Amino acid sequence: MRARAGYAVGMERGPQAPGGVPCVGVDDAITRVFELFGKRWTGLIVAVLTQRPAYFAEVRRALPRISERMLSDRLSELVDAGLVVREVDPGPPLRVSYGLTEAGRAMRPALYELGKWAERYLPDSPSCTEVEAFAADRLVTADSMRPDPSDDAA
């Protein structure tokens, strides 16, 4: 098979629409995933919450570049999507904690695999130097999201 502009050798073009335009579609489930997780900060917030439930301020400290407004918006979206549960602790002082639902915890293996993929295929970013400010045992890493075998038993 010879290479054509924009196509790798050996790749099939698949069905075509009128005019010879290739028909390319994306599964509805994948579309829904990226509509939610494609938003900046969403995946990182879920990654922070995979460790344990956390108060708003703790999530904010774990992601120092996120604004309070953006964090609030993203947490609300995750609550609406059923991945995060919001719990108000009786005060004073009034405190709000966030934790993952069963659906949110089910993202852990996918986040682990994405982290491993990034370690292999994405170069380190020099903008990640702020990570040095955190103790290594407090970082959310791909290995810290390794699926727990006991999760399969549930």
- Mean pLDDT value of segment 124-149: 58
CATH of 28-147, one of 2.40.30.20, 1.10.10.10, 3.90.1150.10, 3.40.50.300: 1.10.10.10
pLDDT of residue 3: 47
Average pLDDT of the chain is: 81
At residue 89, the 3 state secondary structure works out as: strand
Q: What is the pTM of this model?
A: 0.69
pLDDT of residue 125: 67
Is there a contact between 99 and 78 (Cβ–Cβ < 8 Å)? no
Digit-coded pLDDT (tens) for 22-53: 667 778 888 899 999 999 999 999 999 999 99
Alpha helices in the chain (DSSP H): 28-37, 42-49, 56-62, 68-80, 102-105, 108-121, 149-153
Sorting pLDDT into bands at 50, 70 and 90, what band is 84? very high
- Mean pLDDT value of segment 53-76: 96
Distance of CA 110 to CAs 7, 46, 52, Å? 29, 11, 17
80 has a pLDDT exceeding 90: yes
Is there a contact between 69 and 83 (Cβ–Cβ < 8 Å)? no
